[in-house]
Structure formats: structure tokens, C-alpha cells
């Protein structure tokens, strides 16, 4: 079963949306001001259920959101309709983006790039983002580090992520140290009428060495403008940083 096939509806009811909310409310606007950029056209890759794209559209940005999951794009379109904002949402694969010099800013958040399980996949994602940007444009993204997946994810291998009157979401996590791949098996029990149904999805994320990410960005043509352990605090990456943030620029 593809990831987010049935999980999309549960995802939007969980705590995950706090991430995009904090980005939209202060972190991203402040960082864009710090970079001195005012993007006219913005592409949000792996936009999920559209919460970030819709919030930024409400701030006046011309937004396009793409995601590989049709279910997520359906939710995103519904969110935009409720908010009464215009956002172009499309089902696309970040490894084969169809855009050419169309955007001033490209973003990809919430460790979506860790779903690229091979170096070739990650390289294709970086190349597509580079191609989608106009010269002088910025590419901002975050990824889980190897430490974040191998240590922080594994501090609690089995736990209840969310529980309501009509569903229970259980996570079980493991880490493949040879291939640097973390697996999160999601089990959801959902109430439908008088009965409960169950579905399962497995999400896999690969950790990459920081130097490898930098190399692949440079190979795609980017200049690295910033690298942080926390975008909010602009703190440097440490050996115990669970996440790394990059700002990369397409040269003039």
C-alpha cells in the first residue's frame, strides 16, 4: 500500500500540522526577510495537506504545492477552498519536476527529502528544484540527520502517537544501521459506525551525511547560503542535531 493512501486523513488530524504552523507564523517570514528576498512565485514540494501553502497564500504569496499523494492533494485543495485562497495544487513526483525557471523560492519541509532512499533519488530531487528556480532563487529545506533517525527516533520504539474517540494511531520504529534507513510502521484502528477497522503503512527515511548533502547540492549547481541545526535559532549543526536545515541559492 502506498504511503499516505489511507493515512492522509489521519495525518491532518494529528500533531504534525504544528510544524507547518510554526514555520508559517514566524520562522519562515523572519528568515526570508533576513535573506532579503520577497518571492513572487513559491513552490512548496511535498506540500502534504497544504497547511503551509495555504497559510503563505493568505499572506499574499503566489503559491504552488505539489505532492506525490493524490489523497494529500485532495485534502490540500479542500483546505484552500475553505480558506478562500488560490493555490495551484498538483500531483507530482519531486524526482521528476516539470518546471523550468518558474519560481523565486522552492521549499521542501518536514524531512520529506529523507524519503529519497537512494543517492540518485536525492540527486534528482535537488536537480529538479534547481531547474524549477529562476536565477538568484533560493531552495530551503530540512532533513532528519543520521543521529536524528538512529538515536532520537529510537528512544521510543513503540508508542501511541494519537488517540481520539474514533481512531488510535500506533507507531513502531526500527533502524537499519547498514543502510542508514529508519522504518516507521504505522497502525491505525479506525471506528466506522459500530465497528473498528485496521490499516497499516510503513514509512522509510534514509539518513545522509551532511557532507554528502552539501556535495549533491553543489553538483546540482547550488551555492549553499546557510546551514543550521535549528532554523528558528539559526544555530549551527552539531553532532547531536536531530535535524539539518539548508538554504541554497541558484547563482546568477
Q: How far apart are CA 94 and CA 127, in angstroms?
A: 10
Residue 9, pLDDT score: 87
Compute the CA torsion angle 31, 107, 142, 172 (nearest 10 deg).
130
* Domains delineated in the chain: 7-144+208-249 (3.40.50.150), 148-206 (2.20.25.110)
pLDDT at residue 2 tops 80: no
Which residue matches cell numbers 535535524? 243
Residue 14, pLDDT score: 83
Distance of CA 145 to the CA centre of its chain: 14
Task: Give the 3-state secondary structure of residue 224.
Answer: strand
Question: Mean pLDDT of all residues in the chain?
Answer: 96
Residue 5, pLDDT score: 82
Residue 8, pLDDT score: 87
28 phi/psi in degrees, rounded to 5: -70, -50
Residue 3, pLDDT score: 80
Q: Residue 80 is inside which H or E element, if any?
A: helix 70-83
CA of 60: how far to CAs of 54, 85, 163, in Å? Answer: 10, 9, 36
- Overall average pLDDT of the 15-40 stretch: 92
pLDDT at residue 1 tops 70: no
212 Cβ neighbours under 8 A, 6+ residues apart: 119
Which residue matches cell numbers 504544528? 18
Starting at the earlier edge strand, list the strands of the sheet with 167-176. 158-163, 167-176, 181-192, 195-206
Q: Which range has the top average pLDDT, 15-19, 62-66, 189-193?
A: 62-66
- Overall average pLDDT of the 62-84 stretch: 97
Residue pair 108/141 in contact by the 8 Å Cβ criterion? yes
- Overall average pLDDT of the 21-45 stretch: 95
Which residue matches cell numbers 540518485? 120
Percent of the chain at pLDDT exceeding 90: 92
Residue pair 204/112 in contact by the 8 Å Cβ criterion? no
Percent of the chain at pLDDT exceeding 70: 99
pLDDT at residue 31 tops 70: yes
Amino acid at each position: 500500500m502506498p504511503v499516505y493512501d489511507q493515512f492522509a486523513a489521519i495525518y491532518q488530524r494529528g500533531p504534525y500540522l504544528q510544524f507547518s504552523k510554526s514555520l508559517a507564523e514566524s520562522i519562515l517570514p523572519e528568515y526570508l526577510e533576513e535573506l532579503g528576498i520577497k518571492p513572487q512565485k513559491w513552490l512548496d514540494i511535498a506540500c502534504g495537506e497544504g497547511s503551509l501553502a495555504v497559510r503563505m497564500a493568505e499572506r499574499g504569496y503566489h503559491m504552488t504545492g505539489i505532492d506525490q499523494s493524490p489523497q494529500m492533494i485532495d485534502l490540500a485543495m479542500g483546505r484552500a477552498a475553505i480558506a478562500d485562497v488560490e493555490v495551484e495544487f498538483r500531483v507530482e513526483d519531486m524526482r521528476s519536476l516539470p518546471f523550468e525557471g518558474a519560481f523565486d523560492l522552492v521549499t521542501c519541509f518536514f524531512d520529506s527529502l529523507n524519503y529519497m532512499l537512494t543517492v540518485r533519488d536525492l540527486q534528482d530531487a535537488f536537480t529538479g528544484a534547481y531547474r524549477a528556480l529562476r536565477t538568484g532563487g533560493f531552495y530551503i529545506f530540512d532533513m532528519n540527520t543520521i543521529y536524528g533517525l538512529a538515536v532520537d527516533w529510537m528512544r521510543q520504539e513503540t508508542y501511541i502517537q494519537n488517540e481520539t474517540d474514533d481512531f488510535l494511531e500506533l507507531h513502531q520504529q526500527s533502524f537499519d544501521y547498514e543502510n542508514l534507513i529508519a522504518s516507521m510502521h504505522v497502525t491505525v484502528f479506525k471506528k466506522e459506525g459500530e465497528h473498528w477497522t485496521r490499516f497499516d503503512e510503513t514509512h522509510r527515511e534514509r539518513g545522509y551525511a551532511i557532507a554528502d548533502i552539501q556535495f549533491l547540492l553543489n553538483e546540482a549547481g547550488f551555492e549553499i547560503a546557510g546551514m543550521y541545526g535549528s532554523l528558528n535559532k539559526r544555530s549551527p549543526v552539531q553532532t547531536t542535531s536531530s535535524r539539518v536545515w539548508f538554504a541554497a541559492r541558484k547563482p546568477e
